[in-house]
Chain A
């Protein structure tokens, strides 16, 4: 089934540790995104990529980095995790980064930073 695969599904992490959340899509979409979902705040965009080789900052980029070496993969890295990064992280993709169109989401990665 075509879609977005995220790993890990869930992770508990000590503060200060480095963590990479993986995201792979098989829809050949140009644009990919990372969101975090927090209670009362909805989904907030962390970083995005309109096409392989390019990335951009979203609404809440601090403490996170991304790379887009190819069309299919868009990993999110926390260089030194802090408790405020405890959240559910969703990777998404769309055909383009332009106006209109829907986003397709993965099932999420629940991260707890202690």
Chain B
């Protein structure tokens, strides 16, 4: 069963605009959420995280929002840059031994 869902396989935005990537989860026990970024032929790399006690976490151009009641989180990238073009995976965990990943969203930022 897919406990973490990214319903948009792809997203295309113009350079300088905001990119919003969405993620939904079903397991209310998840208490830690992460976003990973993956370039072709490379492994995923950690981008940003948020614990369930918060509803927002910022790191430079990247902000993650968590809505626990809706079991929804989103990643905002502003302003978007061509180098942000990659596949973004949402992940959720109770502990690292059972981290669940979404299917990924391919972001394309056009110059």
Q: In the complex, which residues 60-111 of chain B have their Cβ closer than 8 Å to any Cβ of chain A?
A: 89, 91, 93-104
Residue of B nearest to A93 (CB): B96
Q: Are A43 and B95 in contact (CB under 8 A)?
A: no
Contact (A99, B94) CB under 8 Å given A42-B89, A42-B104, A107-B43: yes
Contact (A45, B98) CB under 8 Å given A102-B34, A107-B41: yes
Q: Are A97 and B96 in contact (CB under 8 A)?
A: yes
Q: How would residues 54 to 65 of chain A score, 1 for a CB under 8 Å from any chain B CB and 0 otherwise?
A: 001011000000
Q: Are A101 and B102 in contact (CB under 8 A)?
A: no
Among A48, A96, A100, A104, chain B packs the most CB atoms within 10 A around the CB of A100
Q: How would residues 19 to 48 of chain B score, 1 for a CB under 8 Å from any chain A CB and 0 otherwise?
A: 000000000000110101000011111100
Q: Are B95 and A106 in contact (CB under 8 A)?
A: no
CB distance from A95 to the nearest CB of B (A): 9
Q: Are B4 and A42 in contact (CB under 8 A)?
A: yes
CB-defined contacts of B96 to chain A, threshold 8 Å: 31, 33, 48, 94, 96-101, 103
A31 CA to B99 CA, complexed, in Å: 13
Q: Are A103 and B94 in contact (CB under 8 A)?
A: no
Among B46, B93, B99, chain A packs the most CB atoms within 10 A around the CB of B99
CB-defined contacts of B98 to chain A, threshold 8 Å: 45, 58-59
Given A59-B98, A102-B34, output 9 extra A-B contacts at Cβ < 8 Å. A42-B101, A43-B91, A44-B101, A50-B97, A100-B51, A103-B46, A103-B96, A105-B43, A108-B41
Listed A/B pairs (21) with beta-carbon separation below 8 Å: A31-B97, A33-B96, A41-B2, A42-B4, A42-B103, A43-B89, A45-B99, A56-B97, A59-B100, A94-B96, A96-B96, A97-B96, A98-B96, A99-B32, A99-B93, A99-B95, A99-B96, A103-B36, A104-B46, A107-B43, A108-B41
